[in-house]
Amino acid sequence: MKILLTTTSFQDTPGAHHDLLKQTGWEIITARGPLNEADTLALVGDVDGYICGDDAITRKVLEKARPKLKVLSKYGIGVDKIDVKSCTEFGIPLLFTPGVNHTTVAEHNFMLLLALEKNFLYHTDSTRSGDAKTNWKRKTGHELLDKTIGIIGLGRIGKEVAIRSRAFGMNVIAFDVYWDEKFAADHNVKRAATLDEIYAASDYISLHTNLTPETRDMISAKSFPKMKKGVLILNCARGEVVNTNDMVAALKSGQVGGYGTDVLDHEPPPADHPLLKLPNVVCTPHVASRTYESVVRQATCSVKNLILAMNGEKPIAQVNPEVPVKKVV
């Protein structure tokens, strides 16, 4: 059996997942993802299983991969780069790993928030710049205490953000179609009836929603006027949830006070990406879910999913459960 593995964090981080995969005796073909469509096309066609990260797995890729490809195991939870409809049509079980990185992403989200409110990059650059008499520059920041954070998407990650927000003494308001009343009551989270209510009430807006046709460009020139002037926006979801050009304009005008993001509309970004030139932007390279602890959890889950499905057993989590898993080992 041949298995294609393209997730760099899986490959670069030691842990039990390597032993688990090695014990299968399968031939492992590795590549450094995330891969674009052309690179993915060059590798599929002769593999039985595929552990992927954020590769572009389009219909064209899947057409070439079948009928050899029996199982597609996603390292992570986001499947917006995968043609799920075609996977289902072609009878390819698509597996994923929910519940393994929500704590990690929530912590990273707060790093972005604190970096913005405490002017972390400004102060770090100032301190390192040389002569203390002329370059020891300081800029007054803000406390998180008593501020209101609006969470869009109260799933696993959103809930962890809410818990940490309450620990900082913040007011928490959230919007989610699937509302967890018990969690909200236990953690004093106010339910927003609409996104507009989030926009109007929040000092900080934290995005934790999937990328769908409905959420693409959700944060844009249409929504900015509904927000408090100087609002800080945090994005550990997907870059395309925010309209880049509109965000740049809002940051320059001061309507948005700062943008902390782990994701961009193009990854990796070109050197002239407009967001990277602005002083009120803190950007990290899609690494919010990547710690040694979370990588091992995600990688182990993705391998277990693959092994279970290849043996015809029910996987831990499947995006398209209507597709039956069949033993192929």
Residue 315: pLDDT over 90: yes
| CA–CA dist 64, 60 (Å, integer) | 7
Lateral strand order in the sheet of 171-175: 189-191, 171-175, 148-152, 204-207, 231-235, 256-261, 281-283
Looking at residue 127, what is its pLDDT?
A: 86
Q: Helix axis angle, 292-310 relative to 102-117, nearest 10°?
A: 150
Catalytic residue among 27, 59, 138, 267: 267
- Per-residue model confidence as pLDDT tens digits over 172-209: 999 999 999 999 999 999 999 999 999 999 999 999 99
Catalytic residue among 102, 108, 208, 286: 286
Residue 27: pLDDT over 90: yes
Query: Binning pLDDT at 50, 70 and 90, where does residue 134 land?
Result: low
8 A C-beta contact, residue 9 and residue 17: no
| CA–CA dist 109, 236 (Å, integer) | 7
For the chain, give the percent of residues with pLDDT over 90. 91
| CA–CA dist 70, 327 (Å, integer) | 9
Residue 132: pLDDT over 70: no
151 by DSSP, 3-state: which? strand
Query: Per the omega criterion (within 30 degrees of 0), is the bond before 285 cis?
Result: no
The answer to whether residue 17 is catalytic is no
Looking at residue 328, what is its pLDDT?
A: 83
Residue written as tokens 């593995």?
Answer: 5
Rounded to the nearest integer, the mean pLDDT of the chain is 95
115-119, 121-125, 133-137 — which one is most confidently predicted on average? Answer: 115-119
Residue 163: pLDDT over 90: yes
| CA–CA dist 115, 131 (Å, integer) | 24
Paired tokens of 106:
């929530």
8 A C-beta contact, residue 262 and residue 286: yes
- Per-residue model confidence as pLDDT tens digits over 228-273: 999 999 999 999 999 999 999 999 999 999 999 999 999 889 999 9
- Rg from Cα positions in the chain: 21
Residue 142: pLDDT over 90: yes
The answer to whether residue 273 is catalytic is no
Residue 131: pLDDT over 80: no
- Compute CA distances 4 → 64, 128, 149, 196, 248, whole Å: 14, 44, 41, 44, 38
Query: Domains, the chain, ranges and CATH?
Result: 2-100+291-310 (3.40.50.720), 102-283 (3.40.50.720)
- Per-residue model confidence as pLDDT tens digits over 50-100: 999 999 999 999 999 998 999 999 998 889 899 999 999 999 999 999 989
The answer to whether residue 238 is catalytic is yes
Paired tokens of 161:
């953000």
8 A C-beta contact, residue 162 and residue 151: yes
Residue 329: pLDDT over 80: no
Catalytic residue among 238, 240, 290, 297: 238
- Mean pLDDT of all residues in 307-317: 96
Looking at residue 126, what is its pLDDT?
A: 86
| CA–CA dist 177, 194 (Å, integer) | 10
Looking at residue 182, what is its pLDDT?
A: 98
